[in-house]
A and B are shown apart, each in its own frame.
Chain A
Amino acid sequence: MTESQTSTGLTPGTRPGDAPLLEVKDLQVEFRTKAGVAKAINGLNFTLHAGETLAILGESGSGKSVTAQTIMGILDMPPGKIAGGEIRYRGEDLLSMPEESRRRLRGVKIAMIFQDALSSLNPVLPVGWQIAEMFRVHRGLKRKEAKVKAVEMMQRVGIPGAEERAGDFPHQFSGGMRQRIMIAMAIALDPDVLIADEPTTALDVTVQAQVMRLLKDLQTEFNMGLILITHDLGVVADVADKIAVMYSGRVMEAADVYEIYGKPGHPYTQGLLNSIPRIDDEGGRLRAISGLPPSLTDMPPGCPFNPRCEFATDRCRTERPELRPVADGHLSACHYAEDVYAGTATRTRRPSPTGAGMIDVSEEAPQ
């Protein structure tokens, strides 16, 4: 992807010269495993601006968590290896920065919350201490002052009786409260970028909405750039400004929420949208995308989605589609993006009724 595409891309109206808050360019991450080199991230691109919520959407294994960990600099290396690309925070490349400068940004300017708050909080330290640690280490506050700040943060994220509960341990809280504590810890130092990796997946449905609401409120209050990682299309509809759809470690499509829902420009996104059960849909017909994502150790040539795509042609099997604009602020990595966007793409295949693979439309006997 080229510079011009980046700036015509996700956020229209960016003045040239002022760098976006976070910019991921052609990122490549691989894992060296016994089975070979697994290419988890293969040329990933996206941009995030202040005050913006970007939802990263994708099936399990599409590389969402690896992306988050790479931005944070907490990827397990080895087996992980950053094979190429840039991650620019306010124009500065994080990947070429000395570790110590990077550490000073971590948790301070770029913070993260994890899916499983129970295992992600230290079981033997009081929650107040864990929040206060941010103020003590990064702001040099004394124990007492840091504790006061921690209690304030706990109050801000809606923990009842924060003062008394600061000395409690993670296992003494409910799932929702624990996630609020994680959030309090992450936003303690007013970060510019907050990455939330499936923050509500482990929670009860009723609690999910509350936590998501809280995240959204805090994002507005602190004017953070929020990266919301999820595989649940329903969750992001209310809170996200933009959506980037990931597949096999690439962004397949990126656009405003309304664009994505209303006029998807990529067959994979269409498939995802079709697989959401709708209330108005009599009988709750669910059309999952047939087939499985490609193996990361043995990527097919051409478009990574071609084995599962209803529109795939010979070109798709040889030539890799680049992420390019299909409409204003709408990017898609499909050779036939314009046709798909306009709803005029020619279906070449359809899922086999047995669920095993695809059947070429042309090979079917005319009825």
Chain B
Amino acid sequence: MTRYIIRRLLQFIPVILISTLIVYALVFAIPGDPIRALAGDRPMSDAVRETLREQYNLDDPFLIQYFKYIWGIVTALDFGSTFNGRPVTDIIEQRLPVTATLALVTLVIQTLMGIIAGILAALYRDRFFDRFVQVSTVAMVALPTLVIGFLLQLIFGLNLGWFPIAGVNNGVSSYILPALTMAAVSTGILARLVRSELLDSLKSDYVRTATAKGMKRSRVITRHGLRNSLIPAVTFIGADLASMLGGSIIVETIFNLPGLGQQVFASIQGQEGTVVVGIVTLFVLFFVVINLIVDLLYGLLDPRIRYE
């Protein structure tokens, strides 16, 4: 077990190196001169430009730039800074809470809605609620995030006026519509997953045994049926949480939330390579850590899993 964790942790190193390298390369490949973009229409002397290019290693070959960047992180925990001189860690610190809140609210919404809808659909199989879940989940999975976001803004924001449609000035209620938007696809998948897993499980021999033991139907479902059918749901939720930061880019932009996703979007436009790479590295790190936790949790829930 311990050896398994250590091995997994060691695997993080190449994963992170390769993914940052790819992101770095992509940012590097964006055409145009970032310094000129920074200056905008204002005139900038050649001397100033030279100094800036020097400071950000912009004249070095790509790989050298990359290694200098990694070296800075490893030796001095220096994640670089923006062209304005603001440290990337500073930006992350400021914007992380918004994205974290969004991810958390999304997680709660999709877990509750997905699992409850899935359970009820299975228990009322082929009845109205089940049909409703079947149809609505198809819609949730098929519609693009952008469309869902606009629809929610239109209905619950503009028409009904229940929730704000942009910004973060209204506490948790600011996060409801963005979180619903972000949760849509996963809620749909989760509901279907839980439904089919629970149906399978209710047909299984061990559930039949539990009934034969004289357990009440409610206990048969919760203790024997659900327990097993939720294992794949946990895996899915974990994998989904891990990739949620990526999803935040679109949603934070649609709803104008000042989080990491919006920052990535803006930084790509401004060709602020260090910021993009810094935040994306954080996303990747989060992804691998959550996946490790899910794998460990999986073993806890299903004793048949063994770590080698």
Contact = CB atoms under 8 A, between A and B. Distances in A.
Q: Which of A105, A106, A122, A138 has the most CB of B within 10 A?
A: A122
B192 interface: no
A104 B214 contact: yes
B6 interface: no
Given A122-B224, A171-B304, A133 B215 contact: yes
Contacts of B223: 133
Interface in A92-107: 103-107
A104 B214 CA distance: 6
Contacts of B219: 137
Contact of A138 (B204, B212, B214, B227): B214
Contact of B206 (A122, A134, A138): A122
Interface in B195-224: 204-206, 208-216, 219, 223-224
Nearest to A76: B203
A124 B227 contact: yes
B304 A72 contact: no
A255 interface: no
Interface residues of B, number: 22
A72 B208 CA distance: 10
B303 A123 contact: yes
Given A123-B303, A124-B227, A107 B205 contact: no
A124 B211 CA distance: 17
A122 B304 contact: no
Contacts of B289: none
B302 interface: yes
A185 B205 contact: no
A120 B209 contact: yes
B216 A103 contact: yes
A112 B210 CA distance: 11
B215 A120 contact: no
Contact of B205 (A72, A120, A134, A169): A120
B301 interface: yes
A344 interface: no
Interface string A128-158: 0000011001100000000000000000000
B214 A114 contact: no
A123 B210 CA distance: 12
A114 B209 contact: yes
A279 interface: no
A106 B212 contact: yes
A108 interface: yes
A103 B220 CA distance: 12
Contact of B209 (A108, A122, A124, A169): A122
Contact of B228 (A111, A123, A182): A123
Given A124-B228, A137-B219, A119 B205 contact: yes
Interface in A162-190: 169, 171, 182, 185
Main SS of chain B's interface residues? helix
B303 A124 contact: yes
A143 B127 CA distance: 39
B227 A116 contact: no
Interface in B276-308: 301-304
Contacts of A72: 212
Given A124-B228, A137-B215, A137-B219, A114 B205 contact: yes
Contacts of A123: 206, 228, 302-304
Nearest to B304: A171
Contacts of A134: 213
B58 to A, nearest CB: 56
Interface string B80-96: 00000000000000000
Contacts of A133: 213, 215, 223
A205 interface: no
A103 B303 contact: no
A72 B211 CA distance: 9
B303 A120 contact: no
A72 B295 CA distance: 39
A121 interface: yes
Contacts of A114: 205, 208-209, 212
B206 A107 contact: no
A163 to B, nearest CB: 19
Nearest to A138: B214
A107 B214 contact: yes
A116 B205 contact: yes
Contacts of B204: 119
Nearest to B219: A137
A74 interface: yes
B68 to A, nearest CB: 51
Nearest to A129: B223
A137 B212 contact: no
Contact of A185 (B213, B216, B302): B213
B304 A169 contact: yes
A112 B212 contact: yes
Interface string B216-247: 10010001100110010000000000000000
A124 B212 contact: no
B211 A74 contact: yes
Contacts of A104: 214
Contacts of B215: 103, 107, 133, 137
Contacts of A111: 212
Contacts of B216: 103
Nearest to A185: B213
A74 B209 CA distance: 9
5 contacts: A74-B208, A114-B212, A116-B205, A121-B209, A123-B303
Given A106-B212, A120-B208, A171-B303, 7 more contacts: A108-B214, A114-B209, A121-B206, A122-B228, A123-B303, A124-B228, A137-B215
Interface of B: 204-206, 208-216, 219, 223-224, 227-228, 231, 301-304
